[in-house]
Structure 1
Amino acid sequence: MSNPSSLRDLYVDPNQAWSFVPPVNPANASTSSSAAAASTSAAAVGASNSSRLPAASAYQWSTRPSHNSIFDLSPSLDLSAPSGVNPAQLFKALVASAVLQYTSTAIVMPWEVSKLLLQVQWVPRDAGEVADEFDDEVDVVGAAAAAAADDDALSDDSENDSYFHDPNATPTSGRPPVPRARVDEQGYVIRRSVLEEGTRPEYIIPVGSADGVWGMMKRVGRFRFEGWLALWKGKQCSDSLSFTQTKPKNLVQPMINGFLQGLFFPSMTPFHQPPIILPVASHLITGFLLSPLDLVRTRLIIQSYTTRYQRYSGPIDAFRQILRDEGGLRGMYFHPHLLVPTLLDNGLRPLVTLALPGMITSYFGWGHITEDTHPIGWGMAELGSSCLGLLVTLPIETIRRRLQAQVRGSAEPVKGCVELRPAPYNGIVDAFWHILTEERSDLPITRSPRRRRMSSKGKEASVPREEEKTDEYQSWWRHTGLGQLYRGLGMRLGASAIVFVLALVGGGEENGGGWAEI
C-alpha cells in the first residue's frame, strides 16, 4: 500500500463533525434509499480519502426515558410523545397507585392490630390463682351455710324459739356473712386479680383469652365494646395512619440512601455494590425521623374503640396531646424510653435482612450462590435468615411497643382495650426482666382446678390425678414470660413463607425485587 502524497485530503473540518438525526419513516422509499446511500458514503470517508459527507445526512441515536414504577400501572402513558404526558392518564396512574397501597394496607391491618394487642397485653403470673382462692372461700361459706340450714330444719325447738322471740329485735339469718370485697382507705374496691369479673373494667378484653393473632382477631371482633370494625380502628385512625406512614418510608429511605452514597462514595459506579453500612444507615435514619408516626399509631391501636373511653379522637389529636403533655418533639424523639428502642429496632431489621443471607451461604459453603445465578437457593437463604432474625428482632419490637404504650410527663394513662401493666417500665432492660419474671405464657388461660373443694357435708374433696398432671405439664410455661416476647411469631413465619412461595412462583423476569416482610 503506497503512502499518500499529501495529508491535506484527509483533513476534516471539526465544524462538520458527526450529527445525529431521527430515523426516517419507512413509508418513504426514496428517502430511505438516499439515507442509506449517504450512510454508506459517510462510512467510506472514515476509511479512505475519497470524499466528504454533509453533516445533515448522518444518523442520530435515540434515548430511552428513565423507568418509573408509577407509570407501569398505566401503559398508555407515552413519555416520548411530542405532546408530553397526558394529565388524565397521569392522574389515573396516581390514583391506581394510591388505591393499591391503601388496599394492601387495609388487608394487612387486622393482623397488625391483633399482633400489637398481643404484644402490649400484660399477663401476670398469678392470674387466676387469687380468683380461685376467693371461690374456695365462697364454697366453704356456702357449705357451712347449707349445713346450718340442715341443722335448723331438723331441730324441734324452732317453734319455741319463735314463740319467745322478741318482735322488736333485728332479724338474724342462719347463714354466716359472705366475705365482702377488699376496699382501700377511700372506699374503692381493690382489684385482687385480673380475672375478676366484678372489678375488671368493661372496656378491657379478658386477659389471656387469646393465644395467637387469629385468636385475638376473633376476640376483638366478638367483644361487646370493640367489634369487627375495631380491627381497623376507624378510617381516620390506624388504617389511614398506617397508609400515611408507609408512603413516607418508601419515599424517604431511597432519598437518604442516595444522599449518603453520593456523600461518601461519589465516584461509585452503578456496577459496584455499596457497603452494607449505607442501606442500614438509611433505614435507621428513616425510622428515627418517622418514629412519632409509629408512636401515634401504637396509641391509637391500643385505646378502646368505644367513643366514651377513647383518649384520642384521631392521629392529629393524638399528636397534639403528646406534644403538649409528654415533652414536645424532643420528648417524642429523644426520650430514652423511645430513642433507644427505635434505634435498635430500625437498625437490626435491615442488618438481618441484608447481612444474614450472605452469612448463611458462607457458613454452609454456598459462597458461589448469588441472587442472579441461583435465585431459588438465594431465596431459601433469605427465608432462613428471616426466620432466624425474628428470634432477635421480635423481642425488641415487643419491648418497644410496651414502652410506647405507657405515657410520660403529665399525660393521663391510656384506657387500653387490653390489660396494660399498671406500673411503668424503666427502660429496655427493666421491661425485658419483668416480662420474663412476672408474666406467664400459657395462653389462653383456663381456670385451674381448685386445690381445695368442700362438699355439702363440709368435708374437703380430693383433686383428681388428671388435673395434677395437667398442672405439671403447664408449669414451665406458667412460670415464665418467654412466650410473651414472641407474640405474633407464627404470623411472621407464615408471612415469610408466603413471600418465598410467591417469589418462587412469580419470579423469573425480575429477581431484584428484594425481600419483603409484612
Structure 2
Amino acid sequence: MSGLLRHERARDGLGVPANWSPLRRTFESMSEMTSPPSLRDLYIDPSSAWAFIPPTLNSSHPNAATDVSEPVAQAYQWSTRPTRNSIFELSPSLDLSEPLGINPAQLFKSVLASALLQYTSTALVNPWEVGRLLLQVQWVPRDAGEPEAEDDYIVEEQEEPLSDSSDNDDTYFADPHTTGTAKRYPAPRPTDEQGYVIRRSVLEEGTRPEYIIPVGSVDGVWNMIKRVGRFRFEGWLALWKGLLTSTIAEMLSTSIQPSINQFLQSLFLPSMSPFHQPPVFLPIASHVLTGILISPLDLVRTRLIVQSFATRHRVYSGPIDALQKILRDEGGLKGIYLHPNLLIPTLLDSTIRPIVYFALPTIIASYFGTAHITEESHPLAWGCTELAASCIGLLVTLPIETIRRRLQVQVRGTAEPIKGCVELRPAPYNGVVDAFWHILTEERSDLPITPRRARRRNSKKDGQEEEKEDDEAESMWKHTGIGQLYRGLGTRLGASAIYFVLHLLLSREETDAGWVEI
C-alpha cells in the first residue's frame, strides 16, 4: 500500500511515472513537433461564443461559478428591427414603447422637427392652393363682357326770346320754326341706400371696388398666382395667406385619423388578427370623422385666403380672430358644425375622397381583369391604377370642393360680409343643390373675357346712326358654367402625375437597395 502511494506521488503533471523518463522525453518531443508555432490564430474569445440555451449552474458545486478553467458562454440575444417612429421618421431612437418612460427633450425635438417639416412643405404648395381657391370662389356672370350699355340722356329744351335787333346775327339766320335750343346730359344713375352708384356690370371700372381683382382676367391657376402677386392691394406675400391654419389642419388630420381608425378597429373588430386586412368602411369612417372635427379650421382657412390682403379692408386679423368672430356672430359651435351649408358639403367631401383613394383602384383593376395585382407584387401596374383612379376621382371631388368653398365664403347671422379680393356672388346660395344649379345656369366658363364695345357707323341709305356689334364667334363655354366647377383641374392632374413618377422612382430605389435582414 505504501508503495502504491509512493508510486502515485511520483506522477507529475502529465500523468506519467517519474521513472519513465525515456518515454516522457519521447512524448515531449512529439508534442513540440505537432504544436503550432503560435496560438494567436486559434484563440477564441469566450464572450463571442454563441449559446442558444444558457448554461445552468449546478447547486451541488458551490465553487462552480468561480471556476475559470471552463469558460461560460454568453446567451445569444435575438435583435429585432426597431419600430418606425410615427413622427415622420425624424427620431428613430425615440421608442415610445419602452417601459422606462419617454424622454421629454427627445419628444419635444421630434415634434418641433415634424412641425417645421410640415410648415415648409405646406409653404411650398400654398401659392397654388391660393390661386386655385380664388378661381373656385370667383363669380363670373354670363353677361360679363357684353357691350356696355349707353347712358340714358335727358333732353331739355330751352326757349330763347326773339330779338328785333339786327345786331344779333345768330337770331337773324336762325330757323323761325325753332323756338329754343335742346341740351342733352346723362340721366342720374340709380344709387343704393348709402348713396353709392349701383353697378350695372362687373366689368365697370368706375364702380368696381379697388380691392377686387378684375373678373375674367385670368384663366388658370398660374395666371391667378401672377395676377395676385402683381395686384396693388395683394402682392406676393398674399400668396401665403392662411399658411399657419393650413399647417395646423394638416398636422391634426395626420395625427387624429390613425388614432380614430385604431379606435374603430378595436371597437368593431377586437379579435381581428394583425395579419388580416380590415374592412374598407373603417378607414373611410375615420376620414369622415376627422374631416368633421377639423372643418372649422378649413372654414377659417378659406375666409382668410378669400378676404382682401389690404389692412383697411380686412375683416379678420388672423385665425384666432376669425374663429372668435365666427363663433360669436354665426351661431357658435352648433352653427360652425351643424349648419346645413357647412355640414352637408363636409360630409360629401370627406366621404368621396377616401372612397376614391381606397376603393376606386381596386374597382378599376377588377374591371380590366387584373384584380390580383397588388402594390408589392406589381408596383408599376398598381401605380398606373392609382393614377387612373385619382384622375377619374377628380371629376367628382372637384365640383363638390368648389361648392363647399363658395358656401364657406357666405356669412350668416350678424356677421360682417367678407370683402373678397375676387368677385363674389352678391346673392347667397341656399344649399348644395342651389349652388350647383346657379353655377351651371348663370355663369360662363370662357376665360379670360375680352370686353366688347358697341361701335357706330353712318348708314349711306337713310342717314341714320345704327349700332353694330363685333361679329365674333362665341364659344360654347359662354353659355354654361360647367368650367367653373373644374377650376384647377389641370394643376391637380399635373400633381397626380408628378406624385406617380416620384413614387415609382422611390419604390425602385427601395427594391434595388439589396438584401435587407428580416
TM-score (norm 1): 0.76
In structure 2, the residue matched to 1:132 is 148
Q: CA deviation at 1:470?
A: 2.1
In structure 1, the residue matched to 2:232 is 224
In structure 2, the residue matched to 1:251 is 255
In structure 1, the residue matched to 2:514 is none
Residue aligned with 2:508, SS: coil
Residue aligned with 1:269, SS: coil
Partner Cα distance (2:344, 2:372) in 1:
38
In structure 2, the residue matched to 1:177 is 185
Q: CA deviation at 1:432?
A: 0.4
In structure 1, the residue matched to 2:7 is none
Q: CA deviation at 1:180?
A: 4.1
Matches within 5 A, 1:360-371: 360-371=364-375
Aligned positions, number: 437
Matches within 5 A, 1:153-172: 160-161=169-170
Q: CA deviation at 1:242?
A: 0.6
Contact 2:52–2:76 (CA<8 Å) still a contact in 1?
no
Q: CA deviation at 1:197?
A: 0.7
In structure 1, the residue matched to 2:46 is 31
In structure 2, the residue matched to 1:261 is 265
Q: 2:122 aligns with which of 100, 105, 109?
A: 105
Residue aligned with 1:410, SS: coil
In structure 1, the residue matched to 2:345 is 341
The worse-fitting range, judged by mean Cα deviation, of 75-84 and 96-105 is: 75-84
More helix by share: 1
Matches within 5 A, 1:46-445: 58-70=75-87, 72-73=89-90, 92-129=109-146, 132-134=148-150, 160-161=169-170, 176-184=184-192, 187-233=195-241, 238-445=242-449
Contact 1:337–1:427 (CA<8 Å) still a contact in 2?
yes
Runs of 5+ unmatched residues, structure 2 = 1-42, 57-71, 156-165, 175-179, 512-518
Paired amino acid for 1:32:
S
Q: CA deviation at 1:64?
A: 4.5
Partner Cα distance (1:284, 1:402) in 2:
20
Partner Cα distance (1:37, 1:407) in 2:
74
Check 1:36–1:127 CA distance in 2 against 1; reply closer, same or farther (3 A cut). closer
Contact 1:326–1:411 (CA<8 Å) still a contact in 2?
yes
Partner Cα distance (1:294, 1:81) in 2:
37
Partner Cα distance (2:194, 2:447) in 1:
35
Partner Cα distance (1:321, 1:205) in 2:
26
Matches within 5 A, 1:463-482: 467-471=470-474, 474=475, 476-482=476-482
Computing the radius of gyration from Cα coordinates, the structure with the larger value is 2
Contact 2:84–2:92 (CA<8 Å) still a contact in 1?
no
Q: CA deviation at 1:59?
A: 4.1
Check 1:80–1:286 CA distance in 2 against 1; reply closer, same or farther (3 A cut). closer
Paired amino acid for 1:124:
P
In structure 1, the residue matched to 2:507 is 507
Query: What are the Cα deviations for residues 6-47 of structure 1, in whole angstroms up to 9, with x where unaligned?
Result: xxxxxxxxxxxxxxxxxxxxxx945237x55795988xxxxx
Query: What are the Cα deviations for residues 338-384 of structure 1, in whole angstroms up to 9, with x where unaligned?
Result: 00000000000000111000110111111121111000100000000
Partner Cα distance (2:111, 2:466) in 1:
74
Query: What are the Cα deviations for residues 192-250 of structure 1, in whole angstroms up to 9, with x where unaligned?
Result: 011111111111111111111111111111111111111112xxxx0111111110001
Paired amino acid for 2:198:
I
Partner Cα distance (2:129, 2:468) in 1:
45
Partner Cα distance (1:36, 1:447) in 2:
87
Partner Cα distance (1:226, 1:73) in 2:
37
TM-score (norm 2): 0.76
Check 1:158–1:299 CA distance in 2 against 1; reply closer, same or farther (3 A cut). farther
Contact 1:326–1:332 (CA<8 Å) still a contact in 2?
yes
Residue aligned with 1:384, SS: helix
Contact 1:65–1:79 (CA<8 Å) still a contact in 2?
no
Partner Cα distance (2:301, 2:86) in 1:
28
**Identity of counterpart residues, as a percentage?**
66
Paired amino acid for 1:218:
K
The worse-fitting range, judged by mean Cα deviation, of 359-368 and 429-438 is: 359-368
Partner Cα distance (1:218, 1:179) in 2:
40
> How large is the Cα RMSD of the aligned pairs?
3.5
Partner Cα distance (1:78, 1:267) in 2:
26
Q: CA deviation at 1:79?
A: 9.4
In structure 1, the residue matched to 2:23 is none
Paired amino acid for 1:379:
G
Moved beyond 6 Å, runs of 4+: 75-89, 162-165, 172-175
Paired amino acid for 1:132:
E
Partner Cα distance (2:271, 2:77) in 1:
29
Partner Cα distance (2:323, 2:265) in 1:
33
Q: CA deviation at 1:453?
A: 2.2
Runs of 5+ unmatched residues, structure 1 = 1-27, 43-54, 145-156, 166-171, 512-518
Check 1:184–1:78 CA distance in 2 against 1; reply closer, same or farther (3 A cut). closer
Check 1:331–1:75 CA distance in 2 against 1; reply closer, same or farther (3 A cut). closer
Contact 1:221–1:228 (CA<8 Å) still a contact in 2?
yes
Paired amino acid for 1:133:
A
Contact 1:337–1:403 (CA<8 Å) still a contact in 2?
yes
Partner Cα distance (2:100, 2:262) in 1:
32
Partner Cα distance (1:412, 1:197) in 2:
25
Partner Cα distance (2:423, 2:299) in 1:
19
Q: CA deviation at 1:97?
A: 2.4
In structure 2, the residue matched to 1:9 is none
Paired amino acid for 1:405:
V
Contact 1:71–1:77 (CA<8 Å) still a contact in 2?
no
In structure 1, the residue matched to 2:496 is 496
Check 1:355–1:191 CA distance in 2 against 1; reply closer, same or farther (3 A cut). same
In structure 2, the residue matched to 1:453 is 456
Residue aligned with 1:133, SS: coil
